[in-house]
Chain A
Amino acid sequence: MRARHAVAAAATVILGLTGCNANPTAPAEPSGFAKGGTLRILSSSTEFSLDPAKSQSLAITSSGLVLRRLTTWDISPGKPPAVVPDLATDTGRTTDGGKTWTFTLKDGLTFPDGSPITTRDIKYGVERSFAPELGGGLGYHKTLLDGGEAYKGPYTGASLASIVTPDDKTITFTLKTAYGDWPWIVSMPAFSPVPKASDDPANYGKNPVPSGPYRITSYTAGAEAVLERNPAWKQETDQVRTAGPDKIIFQLGQDTTVAAQRLVADSGDDKGAFGANFVPPAQLAQAQSNPSVKDRIVTSSPGALAYLVINTRRVTDVRVRQALAYASDKRAYLVASGGELGGSPASTLITPGIPGRVAYDLYPTTDPAGDVAKAKELLTAAGQTAPKLTLLTRSDGQWSSQAQALQQGFARAGITVEIRTEEYESWFEHVTSGERDDYDLTLTSWQPDFPSANGNIAPLFASTEIGGGGFNLSRYSAPEVDQLIAAATAEVDPARSGALWAQADKRILQDVPVVPLIYTRNSFLRGSSVENFYIGEYPTYPNYLKASLKQ
């Protein structure tokens, strides 16, 4: 349980930090996928580890260049995301309504040393993700696979009985309950092959055995990772990766402002570069005012949900929480997030672009700046006309200015908010460990790890996700909601599960454990020679797998 919490939570926050949905205006249809050149990716991160067990990377970003999984994502401009076969020949077969799933590998798949990729390598890859020393990766499978909760990884000599490999090409997974989204789960990094002989838990992430079109050829800690072609990869076996550039260099530890300014300037090697981080508001405004740069901004459609967390253990009166919903100044929050290019006002938990979403607004206000009179009324009814609350937030990026935007909004209704800032790591530990429940409010954002309403709701509101690394930051616990989540998760029929998730969405917001603020949009900048750089409807990140360079 614990491991899964940590995993799911960590995964999503990173996404939240980085993410939103994409696709306002579909860029011009790519003319073709040119081969050659050196692509540079500027990232603020100082870590570059592709250990599939520890990775929270989306299928279409860095790890997808090196590691193939059973399935992967086909992300194209203007089209809904699709799960497609990667190493497998199809997206999985089930004969019992979603409880057991069978996959068969394609022919002709090999590692660089010429040995074939087998299902045993995939089984081993999944098993090692259970090892406690390899925590932190996307771990949805850990609670879904039968026997997963007791399993502690292959290093103790044990193997997971619910994964069966009758031959080199076939693999069968047995789940605890039926799970309709399993084809999406096997697109996650843990479902990539790891040859047992090459495993070295401490260092595998620096030099993983590649199955995709690239391999890591050099890595300088904190500064640079160089990826070059993996000769064993064959284009005809892969329907999503185009492998345009000959070389991909990740430049790490780049200040986001400086990186954006470099991309705006677009000189020298930076012409063939793009930024992995969001463009900060100032550079975004600057880039927009310059016609030659404007074309090189890629903005997603509204995606991740940015929301205000209300600690329901401390703010116990639902009327006070409702007052917070009415007094939230979403307009100021939006401007603090970059304005029109920063997102659009939100009212639901399930984000746009997710199948089954029902739009509604339980706390409607005519003005996005909020309804102060209504908030005051509710506070009077609750007998707390001047509540004093503590808002804990991150010191980096825009979080502080976003917190101030809300603070001034609440002040209009007589609610005094004291802002406390912490470094990201310290904040994350503080809100997810559940040991120090000393904040009333906090701010975060969330994008599901795969396009299903499950990912919008369960990790944030199931009572099992409180503390221990879980991301139920509101400490929200309602038996009725837990039952709805269980029922919706087990439902294999997408239409019926969709309806259940929509019902849960509304039911949760009746209790106001969070205030949805905006559906964020992400903007990225590319150099002038980068082609096929776009964002699909989901996720709100560019697709690294198809980016190529003008030749």
Chain B
Amino acid sequence: MTETAPARIWPRLRADRWAVGGATVAALLIVAAAAAPLLTSTDPYTYDLDAVSGSGVPLGTGGGIGADHWLGVEPMTGRDLFAIVLHGARTSLLVGVGATLVAVLIGVAVGATAGFAGGWWDALASRTTDVVFGFPALIFMIALSAVAPPEIPRLLIVVLVVGFFGWPPIARVVRAQTITLRHRTFVVAAVALGARPHQVLWRHILPNLLPTVLVFGTMLIPSMIGAEAALSFLGVGVPPPTPSWGRTIGDAVSWVQLDPMYLLVPGTALFAATLSFNLLGDGLRDALDPKLRELRR
């Protein structure tokens, strides 16, 4: 894996149609989320009670689809569903990427030091990884979100909490990889020439871990997005009225018979986001490890 240069990865990745599709959708989502205010005529907070009936049901077909509201409106409020979904993408991507960064930072720090140092630190770190890995994370996240002091922004809490429970798989893979790297000739040579441990770790081991981390990080994003959606679905994610796919899906469940579009729109967005990042991650892994790909064929 150490010999894989970016120049060799790119053609392989490009040849993988699924990965290209995933990358395209993911890129579109990121652009749409970034440009959300430019793409929508209204913000996701403005009520439009003329778009709903007296009892709060969206007027018109498909949950109020029309020129003003491309994807219809939210029942009971008349808020624009397109705006809610686009701004919800910001929340999802922010949490997805933010939590992944947190998880990667902790995972690499724990995994690399454990694999490199060995001994008691390795034992301690590995056991801790096992414990966190086996933890009923969702229940703990719900409890943590419920007791967190209101002064801390909820978005930050969600990022930290979701990220904290995402690092064990990375730590395990990074540790295993570090152990193999430690016995490679160039590392042994560096140590023999008198390089300090932190120099070896920083200059020789970490750069070689990068491809692995990249693949795992990409594949972690969708599960982080899913975790945020689950928390918001359960009512302990980002607070209303900040748009969130999970919360909209949660609200929409009780409306599904009357206004299926209300569930379908954020559900499709969530599906597209998680699938695209998964496909991209898969493609990256195959491109970085051609042997694996050949085995699969």
Binding site for B on A (CB under 8 A): 257, 280-286, 288-289, 329, 331-332, 335-336, 338-342, 369, 395, 400-401, 403-405, 407-408, 411, 419-421, 423
Contact between chains at B46 and A408 (CB < 8 Å): yes
Task: Name the residue on A nearest B150 (C-beta).
Answer: A420
Contact between chains at A338 and B56 (CB < 8 Å): yes
- Cα separation A489 to B171 with both chains bound (whole Å): 70
- Cα separation A340 to B49 with both chains bound (whole Å): 13
Interface centre among A286, A369, A407, A411 (most CB of B within 10 A): A286
Contact between chains at B57 and A285 (CB < 8 Å): yes
The interface residues of chain B, by DSSP majority, are classed as loop
**Does any Cβ of A come within 8 Å of B269's Cβ?**
no
Write out the residue numbers on chain B whose beta carbons fall within 8 Å of the beta carbon of A289: 57, 258
The interface residues of chain A, by DSSP majority, are classed as helix
Contact between chains at B254 and A280 (CB < 8 Å): yes
Given A280-B254, A282-B258, check contact A335 B56 (CB 8 Å): yes
**Does any Cβ of A come within 8 Å of B54's Cβ?**
yes
Min CB–CB distance A85 → chain B (angstroms): 42
Contact between chains at A339 and B55 (CB < 8 Å): yes
Given A395-B235, A411-B45, A420-B239, check contact A339 B54 (CB 8 Å): yes
Within 8 A of A (CB), among B44-94: 45-47, 49, 52-57, 75-77
Min CB–CB distance A439 → chain B (angstroms): 10
Write out the residue numbers on chain B whose beta carbons fall within 8 Å of the beta carbon of A405: 47, 77
Task: Name the residue on A nearest B247 (C-beta).
Answer: A400
Write out the residue numbers on chain B whose beta carbons fall within 8 Å of the beta carbon of A340: 54-55
Contact between chains at B255 and A421 (CB < 8 Å): no
Contact between chains at A339 and B254 (CB < 8 Å): no
- Can you list 18 A-B contacts with CB-CB less than 8 angstroms, sorted by A residue number? A257-B254, A282-B255, A283-B254, A285-B53, A286-B257, A335-B54, A335-B76, A336-B76, A336-B77, A339-B56, A340-B55, A369-B49, A400-B235, A401-B76, A404-B240, A408-B45, A408-B46, A423-B146
Interface centre among A335, A336, A404, A407 (most CB of B within 10 A): A335
Interface size class of B (residues with CB under 8 A): 20 to 34
Contact between chains at A284 and B55 (CB < 8 Å): yes
Q: Looking at the complex, which one of A336, A411, A423 makes contact with B56 (CB distance below 8 Å)?
A: A336
Write out the residue numbers on chain A whose beta carbons fall within 8 Å of the beta carbon of B45: 408, 411
- Cα separation A289 to B75 with both chains bound (whole Å): 15
Within 8 A of A (CB), among B235-291: 235, 239-241, 251, 253-255, 257-258
- Cα separation A395 to B53 with both chains bound (whole Å): 25
Write out the residue numbers on chain A whose beta carbons fall within 8 Å of the beta carbon of B258: 282, 285-286, 289
Q: Looking at the complex, which one of A257, A288, A401, A423 makes contact with B55 (CB distance below 8 Å)?
A: A288
- Cα separation A411 to B43 with both chains bound (whole Å): 13
Contact between chains at A339 and B239 (CB < 8 Å): no
Write out the residue numbers on chain B whose beta carbons fall within 8 Å of the beta carbon of A395: 235
Task: Name the residue on B nearest A261 (C-beta).
Answer: B257
Write out the residue numbers on chain A whose beta carbons fall within 8 Å of the beta carbon of B253: 257
- Cα separation A284 to B254 with both chains bound (whole Å): 11
Task: Name the residue on A nearest B252 (C-beta).
Answer: A282
Contact between chains at B75 and A282 (CB < 8 Å): yes
Contact between chains at B55 and A419 (CB < 8 Å): no
**17 more CB-based (< 8 A) A-B contacts, given A285-B55, A331-B49, A421-B235:** A280-B254, A281-B56, A281-B76, A285-B56, A285-B258, A332-B47, A335-B52, A335-B55, A335-B77, A336-B56, A336-B77, A338-B56, A340-B55, A400-B235, A400-B240, A408-B47, A421-B239
